[in-house]
Chains A and B, each alone.
Chain A
Amino acid sequence: MSGPGPMPEDPAPDMIRGRTPHRQALWYRLLARVAALLIVMLIGVTCIDVIGRYAFNRPFGGAYELTQMLLAALVFVALPLTSADGGHVEVDLALHLMPSRVQRLLGRLAGIVSAMVLGYFTWRLVVIGLDQLHESTRSASLALPMAPLAFLAAASCAVSAACMVLRREEP
């Protein structure tokens, strides 16, 4: 903790020692940029819609649907980042009572359980994506194809699963 005065370069509260090197990785920085862009687009869509509605009496028809798609894209682009950060909410309180070898083992097991869940998600999302590809499902008002979004979600869960298996335990 530093003294008074602006602290613009303070680390994020969840930046715990030993968890940050991955933030320099190319894939992490790339996904983070895309996520930031998606947030900007989400804000932009709402503003254009609301301001257009009042200022120009011209609402932006696809706002609802575009928000949906951007939101889904944002969540699934960000999921691997959260998984790589070890940012999922977990409870490590009871574990502190156990020897560190047991802690590490349990942490590893927990990672594998999480990866299994994410792996199953991946499979189900691929199934959804293939269905949508076959039926060439499109969104209701803007007629955007849905399958790419499902495949993006599947890829996101797969990468997240890998992150959970590979997660490193702090000493």
Chain B
Amino acid sequence: MTISLLAFAILLLLVFARVPIAFAMAIVGGVGFALLRGWGPAGAMIGNAVFETGLNYSLSVVPLFIFMGNVLAGSGIARGLFSAADRVFGRMRGGLAMATVLSCGGFSAVCGSSLATAATMAKVTMPSMRRFGYSDSLATGAIAAGGTLGILIPPSVVLIIFGLLTEADIGKLFLAGIIPGILGIIGYLLAVMVAVRLKPELAPQVREVHPMTRRDAVSVTAVLALFIFIMGGIYGGFFTPIEAAGMGAAAALLIALATGGLSRGALWTAFLDSATASAMIFAIIIGAEIFSNFVTFAGLPDSLSQIVENLGLSPWAVLLVIVMIYMVLGCFLESLSMILLTVPVFYPLVSNLDFGLAILQSPDAVLIWFAIIVVVVTEISLITPPIGMNVFVLRSVLPDVSLRTIFRGVYIFWMADIVRLALIIALPVLSLYLVT
């Protein structure tokens, strides 16, 4: 326990000294493992972690789902979604911000990553909101928060990785994410309404800004069709969730070519960005694998279970403590590394708890519910200072907006997220309704 905590402390220190998080985890985990077991076994473990992660069949979804999202991002579909959403909310005060949230949700349905959703939607929605005098804080807050929906609404790279870590059924995880994802959209819409009610100067009253064109209607139809193709293909048994990534990428390419929205330059960018983003994610997975091997060997999961047992806490209290730990960790760790590092530690603990609810009778159900809770907490961490990754992405897309402005805009969405988290914990049926 002490060793593991010390290792976490050194990890955070290295991360704050700007060592990329992947290599920080690798060096702490590797040296720690070597100190416990010697350099020979450590070297073998590290070599395997690097090589075998590259060869992991299930992880082929990472480049392919990312590519699918990038192709659609490059083909102007995001703009179509935004126009359609603007038709719905355009006449309300704060309508553009609400349209941003809704179109982020729509884009998430064909994009597996929060960061890509935020980056794509920022390029489309920010210029409009600026032009019509929205405050930077509300505008960027809506994008940063709306972007987080990317990891919850299927397809989701993070849910797939959760499935790999715990051997949960990825298809069921995808289904479970739908209602909490819609709940997230509703919560963010309410957050915009509250924000503009409290401070009308954040968003001037405007009319529908983007008259919806036929092209926009085609975009929306294409997104819907692709979502139905992917989910239908998985549940109809035509392909596995892993194969869905390759099929989805092919379908996205076809759609982009058919609608003619994808230029050569944009296609090239989609390829390059997908490749580099995949290498970045794999580096993190490798680092986390090495670090996890070390903390597991140091006995962290066991001693945690023991501590919980000795404390005699009720299952709900245990869950709350875990959620608290996630909230704190989320302030410091990047989302994927947080999931990779913590799920192997917490999931054995949670799967043994008896919550005394009929719906949570089977360990499978508990696992799926827990997955959704973890992903929602992770979403929250994406917009929590000081290391909200979505906020960082926005800053790199919009270099002239300060971090402080974005965080100021994001807090009301953050509160909406806390309410949603409480609902999802209190009512497991929200996550499990579609699964059972």
Contact = CB atoms under 8 A, between A and B. Distances in A.
Interface of A: 1-4, 6-10, 12-14, 16, 32, 35-36, 38-39, 42-43, 45-47, 49-50, 54, 64, 67-72, 74-79, 81-82, 85, 87-95, 106-107, 109-110, 113-114, 116-118, 120-121, 124-125, 127-128, 149-150, 153, 157
Nearest to A116: B27
Interface stretch (B44-52, B148-156, B299-307, B376-384): B44-52
Given A91-B18, A124-B50, A46 B247 contact: yes
Contacts of A82: 276-277, 279-280, 283
Contacts, number: 220
Q: Chain B interface mostly helix, strand, loop or mixed?
A: helix
Contacts of B123: 1, 7, 10, 13
B128 interface: yes
A1 B247 CA distance: 33
B128 A4 contact: yes
Contacts of A117: 23, 26-27, 30
B21 A39 contact: no
Interface in B21-52: 21-24, 26-27, 30, 43-44, 46-48, 50-51
The 7 A-B residue pairs whose C-beta atoms are closest, nearest first, are: A46-B246, A124-B47, A88-B20, A72-B54, A8-B263, A35-B275, A78-B279
Given A50-B239, A71-B63, A117-B23, A6 B76 contact: yes
B181 to A, nearest CB: 23
A35 B276 CA distance: 9
17 contacts: A1-B126, A8-B262, A13-B119, A39-B67, A42-B64, A45-B246, A46-B245, A50-B243, A67-B57, A71-B63, A75-B282, A81-B276, A87-B279, A89-B20, A91-B16, A113-B14, A121-B46
B23 A47 contact: no
Interface of B: 14-24, 26-27, 30, 43-44, 46-48, 50-51, 53-57, 59-60, 63-64, 67, 74, 76, 79, 119, 122-123, 126-128, 130-131, 210, 238-239, 243, 245-247, 249-250, 253, 261-263, 265-266, 268-269, 271-280, 282-284, 334, 337, 386-387, 389, 393, 396-399, 403
A67 to B, nearest CB: 5
Q: Which of A10, A32, A107, A124 has the most CB of B within 10 A?
A: A124
Given A6-B261, A75-B54, A110 B18 contact: yes
A9 B263 CA distance: 8
Contact of B278 (A4, A75, A118): A75
Contacts of B21: 88-91
B265 A8 contact: yes
Given A6-B76, A68-B56, A117-B26, A124 B46 contact: yes
B18 A42 contact: no
B114 to A, nearest CB: 13
A106 B79 CA distance: 41
Given A16-B396, A32-B272, A39-B275, A128 B247 contact: no
B275 A91 contact: no
A114 B27 CA distance: 9
Given A6-B261, A36-B271, A90 B55 contact: no
B275 A106 contact: no
